[in-house]
């Protein structure tokens, strides 16, 4: 059976995440301790014993989810993916699990990404909203019709669920128009900024510098990347797509469609939560969906 391993993004975190791995495996313990040294603070304390608010800090959230996913993947005896993919931040976890990036380089990049995004949010405040029960084409049309304000489609999560992102005013204006146009629900998201929108341009430039200084290797299988939804194996194209990712939409619906079109019937989610399994289920209820366990 063709098996795809998928890695979650921001929002999947929970207090206590990774503690079972730390306690059960000396390899996991070593990797967590190495992460504390690289990050120059004890992220394990926040992950295992912190509060929800502590864990929601951008400098913590992204590396925490990355660590949980990557360490779990490294402990799996049967990790033989035919393909991998990750949602937003999860793309970095997928690239380390897939041997394109080393653990150390992946963690440094994720930390850099988190800090750069936080900085961009402070320079230009923004927000996001989930639009439920509307055609993608309607949402694209409404966003394009909002002039002099920033609002764009940001996450194509599954048919009937798309997240918009932009300035506070732009998202508010689009939200009103979408409700008037018949969207079932428009739900403001509790996020720190306008991710995957033009407001992340300063972060993109900062991350591009770090990515261009990092070695990318040939992976053990193709990765389906956010910015195209397509299968990629060439390390240089992978790097280029990662640079675009911060300001481009996450084409997750297209990613899932292409993964299934290329024969995957077993989808294993590696990391905290089961969000990605739920999104795949919306496309095909007959898939073999599971969470990786150690």
- Residue range 156-181, pLDDT digits in tens: 999 999 999 999 999 999 999 999 99
Indicate if the pLDDT at residue 190 is higher than 90: no
**pLDDT (average), residues 245-253:** 98
Given pLDDT bands bounded at 50, 70 and 90, which one contains residue 191?
confident
Structural domain tally of the chain?
Answer: 2
**pLDDT (average), residues 125-143:** 97
pLDDT at residue 11, rounded to an integer: 87
Q: Is residue 63 part of a domain?
A: yes
**pLDDT (average), residues 98-122:** 97
Active site residue 68: no
Check if the beta carbon of residue 150 is closer than 8 Å to that of residue 199. yes
What is the domain-level CATH number for residue 255?
3.40.366.10
Indicate if the pLDDT at residue 74 is higher than 90: yes
Domain boundary among 136, 164, 188: 188
Given pLDDT bands bounded at 50, 70 and 90, which one contains residue 57?
confident
Please tell me which residue in 68, 165, 167, 196 is annotated as part of the active site. Answer: 196
Indicate if the pLDDT at residue 56 is higher than 90: no
Q: Is residue 156 part of a domain?
A: yes
Q: Is residue 193 part of a domain?
A: no
Specify whether 263 is located in the same domain as 137: no
pLDDT at residue 1, rounded to an integer: 84
CA nearest 188: which of 277, 145, 126? 126
pLDDT at residue 212, rounded to an integer: 96
pLDDT at residue 165, rounded to an integer: 98
Across the chain, mean pLDDT equals: 96
Please tell me which residue in 69, 87, 88, 197 is annotated as part of the active site. Answer: 88
Given pLDDT bands bounded at 50, 70 and 90, which one contains residue 29?
very high
pLDDT at residue 192, rounded to an integer: 81
Specify whether 172 is located in the same domain as 55: no
Indicate if the pLDDT at residue 58 is higher than 90: no
pLDDT at residue 59, rounded to an integer: 84
Domain membership of residue 114 as a residue range: 3-122+198-291
Domain boundary among 141, 163, 188: 188
């Amino acid at each position: 059976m063709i098996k795809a391993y998928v890695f979650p993004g921001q929002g999947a975190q929970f207090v206590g995440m990774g503690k079972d791995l730390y306690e059960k495996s000396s390899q996991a313990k070593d990797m967590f301790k190495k992460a504390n040294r690289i990050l120059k603070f004890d992220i394990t304390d926040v992950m295992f014993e912190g509060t929800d608010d502590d864990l929601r800090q951008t400098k913590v959230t992204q590396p925490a989810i990355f660590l949980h996913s990557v360490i779990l993947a490294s402990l799996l005896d049967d990790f033989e993916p035919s393909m991998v993919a990750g949602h937003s931040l999860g793309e970095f976890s997928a690239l380390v699990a897939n041997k394109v990036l080393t653990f150390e380089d992946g963690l440094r990049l994720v930390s850099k990404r988190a800090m750069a995004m936080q900085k961009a949010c402070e320079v230009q405040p923004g927000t996001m909203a989930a639009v439920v029960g509307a055609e993608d084409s309607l949402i694209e049309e409404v966003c394009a019709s909002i002039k002099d304000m920033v609002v764009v489609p940001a996450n194509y999560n599954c048919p009937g669920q798309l997240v918009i992102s932009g300035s506070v005013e732009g998202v508010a204006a689009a939200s009103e128009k979408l409700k008037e146009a018949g969207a079932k629900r428009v739900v403001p998201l509790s996020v720190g900024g306008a991710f995957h929108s033009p407001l992340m341009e300063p972060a993109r430039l900062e991350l591009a510098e770090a990515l261009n200084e990092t070695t990318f290797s040939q992976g053990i299988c193709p990765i389906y990347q956010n910015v195209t939804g397509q299968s990629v194996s060439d390390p240089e194209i992978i790097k280029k797509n990662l640079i675009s990712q911060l300001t481009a939409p996450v084409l997750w619906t297209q990613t899932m469609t292409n993964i299934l079109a290329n024969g995957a019937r077993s989808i294993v989610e590696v990391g905290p939560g089961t969000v990605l399994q739920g999104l795949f289920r919306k496309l095909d209820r007959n898939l073999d969906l599971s969470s990786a366990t150690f």
